[in-house]
Structure 1
Amino acid sequence: MTLAGDDKVLILFRHAKAEQVPGKDDHARELTGRGRKDARAAGQWLHEHGIGPELVLCSSSVRTRQTWDAAVEGGACGETVEFDRAIYNGSPDAVLQELRERAGEAQVVLVVGHNPTMAALASGLTEGDGSSQAHECLAEGFPTSTVAMLRYAGPWSDLGIGTAVLDRCHTARG
């Protein structure tokens, strides 16, 4: 993917399907077999579309780490991967603040996180701007293994509500 000047791409990636085990610590929940397949399919989709982030900000939970690992098995790549507990339990505002502070000079950043935060962030940052097909996908509720690609022009520190455009949205199934 070729970007010019201040052009930026933000990819919001909801973790894949995780186990539901009563009494198990939420942070320690693992992916199901279907989740692993779906995450690999998401990685393949990212690879096929030439989307390679310079920075991956990944929630510290087991299921998000496993989602990114499986996506890499499917062909996704990321130059630098950082695990962040603030993304695990963060509100949309908290995740946005982490992004603003940590994205640096990267042009393409991918966040592996959780719902409802990923859906709220995608919706709020774009406020309906962008591809109608992508917004239809977003309206389906941002199911597990959904990837939303937003475009933005400017420094990460200025990214805010209504400043981005939703370019693509894809729910991966393996």
Structure 2
Amino acid sequence: MLGAMSTAAREKTLLLMRHAKAEEGLGKPDHDRELAPRGRRDAKAAGRWLHEQGLVPDLVICSTAQRTRQTWEEVCRGGLHTEFVEYRRSVYLGGSEQTLETIREDAGETSTVLLVGHNPTMAQLTSLLTDGEGSRDAHEALGHGFVTSGLAVLSYAGSWADLDLGTCALTRFHVSRGQGG
């Protein structure tokens, strides 16, 4: 029993990432929009940054949209890898509450989860989960907007099944930008 409690209470990390810059949707269904060249560079830079920071997910939960899938692919090209990736339509279709429920259901016993999704859900979920707690600098950076390739790093102590509003602290907010033209 004590072992189970310490596992549930240990520090966890939730990484909320907005997909990288996508192409304009001219005549294409939203779900099928692909990354723009800048988006590919930015997502690859995000992968490098995550790897350099030691923020390696045990599980990736990714929207089913083409641009989020491609964001994850480019993050991998930047040097970040994980064995477990789940593609969830609920992250594409759902708002904050449905996305939160997906995390609760899918995260299991993992310690670090990366969710690749969309705005305004990523910004809303970050705000609701942290309720102003955490790094002042991170909250100030987030206050400038949850732009494409933005990454919110949240700390959480508890069971993923109990993840709820106001239970996390925002420790960092990073925006990755790649090089090139």
1:147 and 1:121 mapped to 2: Cα distance?
12
2:56 and 2:83 mapped to 1: Cα distance?
8
Give per-residue Cα distances to partners, 1:27-50, cap 9 Å, x unaligned.
000000000000001001100000
What is residue 150 of structure 2 aligned with on the other side? 146
Answering whether residue 50 of structure 2 is matched by residue 46 of structure 1, we say: yes
AA aligned opposite 1:16 = A
Answering whether residue 83 of structure 2 is matched by residue 79 of structure 1, we say: yes
AA aligned opposite 2:176 = A
Which SS does the other structure have where 2:49 is aligned?
A: helix
1:78 and 1:167 mapped to 2: Cα distance?
22
Runs (5+) with no aligned partner, structure 2: 1-6
Contact in 2 for aligned 1:31/1:67 (Cα 8 Å): yes
Q: TM-score, normalised to structure 1's length? A: 0.96
Once superposed, what is the RMSD of the aligned Cα atoms?
1.3
Contact in 2 for aligned 1:53/1:79 (Cα 8 Å): no
2:144 and 2:177 mapped to 1: Cα distance?
15
Identity %: 55
Answering whether residue 33 of structure 2 is matched by residue 24 of structure 1, we say: no
Which has the larger displacement, 112-121 or 77-86? 77-86
Aligned residue pair count? 172
Structure 1 pair 150–14 and aligned structure 2 pair: CA distance change class (3 A): same
Which 4+ runs in 1 deviate beyond 4 A? Answer: none
The aligned runs of 1:2-151 (5 Å cut-off) are: 5-151=9-155
Per-residue deviation, 1:110: 0.5
AA aligned opposite 2:58 = E
Contact in 1 for aligned 2:8/2:158 (Cα 8 Å): no
1:166 and 1:95 mapped to 2: Cα distance?
18
1:97 and 1:112 mapped to 2: Cα distance?
15
Larger radius of gyration: 2
Q: TM-score, normalised to structure 2's length? A: 0.92
